[in-house]
Amino acid sequence: MRPVRAFCSDRFTIALPPGHRFPISKYARLREQVLVQCPDVELLEAPPATDGELALVHSPAYVQDAIAGSLSEQTLRAIGLPWSPAMVERARRSVGATICAARAALTDGVAAQLAGGTHHAHADRGAGFCLFNDAAVAARLVQVEAHRATRSLLRVLVIDLDVHQGDGTATIFADDPTVFTLSMHGQRNFPVRKATSDLDVELPDGCGDELYLRSLDSALHTVWTRLAAAPVQLAFYLAGADPHEGDRLGRLKLTLDGLAERDRRVFDALRERGIPVAVSMAGGYGTDIDVTVAVHLRTVFEATRSAALWATERARAGSASVVQ
């Protein structure tokens, strides 16, 4: 089998004030751990998203203000990161990594991006450490590319298991039947005012492995039922580490094993239905950043496991067709 392609952008970092809550160092640490512990992963640096690609989702005026550093003070406070050219370049690279992962997934079955999950960015504004919405831009772009290539409609599923609701993604794809959005998140967590996804599952503070996994199984069953008449051809999976019991912002109580089982169930459900998946790491704000990295690393392990099963099943299907 060919290595799982994982796209990274951690070389494009930003300077943050001491004590800032955004864990900027986790991305380089994760890449280093993947390099050492995941021989079946090919690490690739992503190109930046272009202005035109960003404008598939974001308003041109917002894109230009973000690039020029002309965002309002209110918007910058909502984003929570200081503006700089490096901030914009980092955001472009993160979107570019998810675009690359989506294209790779359509070919390979499974691909990863080692950051991403910027689901609080709306069409005309950013929030919650998110400048541009990487999954939304990548979804729109691959839809355009599929239509150009085959004149076909590519239907997309977003499975957002970050502990915070994917409000930006929900509003971007509101009333769009070609993109189904599932968000399973903490009921009392950010954002205070929730948007409306195609399916929202709200979890109580202190939710542990058993309730979480039971809720996930129920949510996925609902997704497959509602999509039975119009199956999807690509999924974006936001595998947040922030439901972990040691997360400063999470309020849930999942263990490392519980989160790995979450990932396994998502990858298995998608593979069983022949749906390629681009997985991103999304949030993670652990008191111990090494624990957050460990959660993300296990997501990568589960992605490589699923990719191996994809390759095996494709080989069997190819052998069967030759015999016939």
Q: Could you tell me the pTM of the whole model?
A: 0.96
For residue 56, is pLDDT > 50? yes
Q: How far apart are CA 322 and CA 273, in angstroms?
A: 23
| Beta-bridge partners for 202 | 185
Per-residue pLDDT tens over the stretch 138-182:
999 999 999 999 999 999 999 999 999 999 999 999 999 999 999
CA distances from 99 to 57, 67, 284 (A): 13, 20, 22
Could you give the CA distance from residue 164 to residue 172 in angstroms, rounded to a whole number?
Answer: 16
| pLDDT band of 19, cuts 50, 70, 90 | confident
Per-residue model confidence as pLDDT tens digits over 95-124 = 999 999 999 999 999 999 999 999 999 999
Q: Is the pLDDT of residue 322 over 50?
A: no
d(CA 265, CA 269): 6
- Cβ contact 163:185 at 8 Å: yes
Alpha carbon distances (Å) from 176 to 18, 99, 171, 172, 293: 42, 20, 10, 9, 34
Instruction: Average the pLDDT over each of 36-40, 100-104, 320-324 and give the range with the smallest value.
Output: 320-324
* Cβ atoms < 10 Å from Cβ of 211: 15
Instruction: Give per-residue pLDDT as tens, 231-241.
Output: 999 999 999 99
For the sheet with 41-45, list strands across it. 41-45, 4-8, 110-113, 277-280, 234-238, 156-160, 179-186, 199-203
Q: How far apart are CA 80 and CA 130, in angstroms?
A: 8
Gap between the Cα atoms of 87 and 300, Å rounded: 26
Banded model confidence at residue 316, pLDDT cuts 50, 70, 90: confident
Residue type, 294: A
Structure-block tokens of residue 71: 């965002």
Helical residues (DSSP H) of the chain, grouped into ranges: 26-37, 51-54, 60-68, 73-79, 85-108, 134-150, 167-172, 209-226, 256-272, 289-323
Q: How far apart are CA 281 and CA 161, in angstroms?
A: 10
What percent of the chain has a predicted confidence (pLDDT) above 70? Answer: 98
Q: C-alpha distances in angstroms, 315 versus 194, 266, 318?
A: 44, 22, 5
Tokens (6 digits) for 217: 């199984």
